[in-house]
Amino acid sequence: MKKADIAEFYRRLAERTPDPVTELDYVNDYTLLVAVVLSAQATDAGVNIATRDLFRTVRTPAQMLALGEEGLKRHIRTIGLFNMKAKNVIALSRILVEQYDGKIPADRDVLQTLPGVGRKTANVVMNVAFGAETFPVDTHVFRVANRTGLAPGKNERAVEARLEKETPPPWRNSAHHLLILHGRYVCKARRPECWRCVVIDLCRFKPKTPPPAAEVRARQT
């Protein structure tokens, strides 16, 4: 995709969603980190349901340690891989208490040393909590970047590198949210809703999906 088209691509997404933010519920940097760790291979909506009660009383690493692994499991057992995730959250909470005075380090490399925190999770925390220009690549971002031709790549790191190189200001900070929301609600995996896509003419996806019959009838009335 040409530079001018990339800029227009982001401009249109930003015009449609002027203030894109994460859909994960959190109350501070620590609960954000926990929520992102829990969201691996799970939906944001599912994580929000599981953490609704949890984050009312647990908002610091020390409080999480007091709750304990079994107590945490009782809150998150509806989330996939909850046993391993509970183990990781307790382990990272202990490290935060013992080595970082309970605070979240504003360093991507350090974040990635915490149990259960990979590059994508670290990128999300750096972007949302600290305003860093990072480009987390989840399944939605990967799909949109490749399907549209915005930032094609064979793997997540390749797409991340392409996004980081090609994304112009002023959209570098919000690019992740713009792309994930577009992928979640419009450029869907099985049936992209091309008929209501604001960047349809810039997209390289050839088999544009037509609107369903109900949508056609609604437009004709």
> Among 120, 165, 188, 208, which one carries the catalytic annotation?
120
* 73 classed as catalytic: no
Tens digit of each residue's pLDDT (9 = 90 or more) over 130-147: 999 999 999 999 999 999
Q: What pLDDT does residue 199 have?
A: 97
The reported pLDDT for the residue numbered 215 is 59
Residue ranges in the chain modelled with pLDDT below 70: 213-221
Please report, for residues 105, 196, 200, 215, the alpha-carbon distance to residue 219 in angstroms, rounded to integers and kept in the order given.
52, 12, 18, 6
Residue 51 confidence (pLDDT): 97
Predicted structure pTM score: 0.91
Show the domains of the chain with their CATH numbers: 3-20+135-213 (1.10.1670.10), 29-130 (1.10.340.30)
206 catalytic? Reply is no
What is the rounded distance in angstroms from the CA atom of residue 135 to the CA atom of residue 6?
Answer: 15
For residue 171, give the nearest of 7, 5, 3 by alpha carbon: 7
* pLDDT the model gives residue 218: 52
Q: Which of 138, 154, 165, 201 is catalytic?
A: 138
